[in-house]
Amino acid sequence: MQPGLKRPLDLAMEITRSSPFKISLSEGAEPRVVEAAVKAVNLGIAKIILVGHLGKIQEQLEQYSCSKPDHIELHDPITSSLKEEFSKSFYNLRKHKGITRAEAKKQVASNLVYAALLVKHGYADGTLSGFLPVNPVADLCCC
């Protein structure tokens, strides 16, 4: 590598450290997700919102040392003060597809939907998911 040139990853790290994004993680209670979240915060490359059951997330967080604990927020969709706001918003977004208010409220309780709505409403800059399969593989029948 030529002197004075930075490797792409080093350049990306430098940029994210100067202005870290806030990322919501819908699988916030998963051990490897929590570990990655703490690493990202310790590196200074992100602020994190862990979405899931608060007790399970806190149990996982206790296993790690975080240099900036104020850069990790915990959100439980079931108990969140945002659930009414998000339910109304989700209903308005999906009512043309026939969703009811009750179904919208139920959907917002899903970590995946809640994490996406954090972005939609400006509480997060982006969201990551996909560590766990959302839908188990269905048995196929030859009928």
Question: What confidence score (pLDDT) does residue 3 get?
Answer: 62
The 3-class SS string of 24-91 reads EECCCCCHHHHHHHHHHHHHCCEEEEEECCHHHHHHHHCCCCCCCHHHEEEECCCCCCCHHHHHHHHH
Question: What confidence score (pLDDT) does residue 118 get?
Answer: 98
Question: What confidence score (pLDDT) does residue 141 get?
Answer: 40
Domains of the chain: 15-128 (3.40.50.10950)
The DSSP code for 65 is -
Token representation of residue 39:
């690493």
- Residues of the chain short of pLDDT 70, as ranges, are 1-5, 133-143
Predicted model pTM: 0.84
Question: What confidence score (pLDDT) does residue 132 get?
Answer: 72
Question: What confidence score (pLDDT) does residue 133 get?
Answer: 67
Question: What confidence score (pLDDT) does residue 2 get?
Answer: 61
Question: What confidence score (pLDDT) does residue 9 get?
Answer: 77
